[in-house]
Chain A
Amino acid sequence: MKTVIFNGAKEGDMTIKAIEKTIADQLIKKRWEVESIELRTMQIAACLGCFGCWVKTPGTCVINDDGRETTRKAIQSDLLVWLTPVTFGGYSSELKKALDRIIPILLPYFQSYHGQIHHRMRYKKYPKLLIIGVQEPNVDYEETFVALAERNSLNLRPPAYAVSVFQRDKDPKMIPAFVEELLKKVEVIS
């Protein structure tokens, strides 16, 4: 079983680094293969909004850079993890540059799902999804962040997903228990 971690942190974010390492440690103990991708070091151009990945080269982005590889790794994983500083309740631009490029894992066609229009699924199997935000002290964007993750789960339809926010001023010793609870929620450990 394979986990791919999209790390959307800025350089020097030790809290996100510690969470990433803890996830890897806990999963490796369970014999999972873990690959962490530090997105800020990757050559991933911004999505052009051209829909070429749907109508010119279906399933593959027209931009030939690291964005293709991150998308391939994401869809081929069993658990996809997104790590990000909570950015006004959403994701960092570093994480988002990779997420904007994964839309070819969906089809362009529309269907009704949970009462709303969404895109149809391209693949038979999708990874489970774990979304973790690290939030600065003195702000409270958790509700927005959780709601955004819920919307993503409606569009990407993972077989299981979990979302949580870790406060940056919390004791780092709490990270292992925080991570363990989330890995249980996505049913990769028991």
Chain B
Amino acid sequence: MIDKLAALGRQGLDVLASLGRAGQFLAGVLGGVPRPVAGFPLLVRQLYAVGVLSLAIVVVSGLFIGMVLGLQGYTILSDYGSESAIGQMIALTLVRELGPVVTALLFAGRAGSALTAEIGLMKATEQLSSMEMMGVDPLKRVISPRLWAGFIAMPLLAIIFSVVGIWGGMLVGVEWLGVFEGAFWGNMQSSVDFWEDVMNGVIKSLVFGFVCAWIAVYQGYDCVPTSAGISSATTKTVVYSSLAVLGVDFVLTAVMFGDF
């Protein structure tokens, strides 16, 4: 009994210590922003890995989610004879919620896990410590460009997701189900506000990008340098990122759209 209690306490302390290390780590990375000229090629390389290569999954998911929204919205709204509100429904859902959140979840699975595994393997094969031996700070050279790449790529991906999703919704609603196109765009434009809706979505995705990239690089950097350690760190990245995104999303939504 006492043993179990002690184990519980140790686990709690482990979690706290890990949070503390993550904070220290973040301070170290942000304190060491790479010099723009020297760091730029590294950043481009990471933007390619994190952003360009995630584009395909983001575009395809966005298209299908928009099409599903179009179908579902049509079935529900046509009961009330207001299927022209479908544009408004699709646009608001995507721009405010689904765009940032689903992109962040995909991003955690597609890019976050790769970041963790890559950094974890670098640690396991002692590339990080050899860098330190050569007087190169791995936080600056390896971690910082990856963090910045996640932070930059995520909002762009979320915006592309929303636009493709709305186009998919239009494809289903207007082209296939025959909603009047003028009403589709008109309702959308009169109800979506650029600053209130679009920009709040972009702010959300910036926060999500930061959270996902931070968790991914930290888990890689902090992993146990064995094959089992890397695999558990990769799993943790996906699980923690998803949970963090959904939790942070609730808080952000409450702050942005809640009236209090």
Do A and B form a real pair?
no
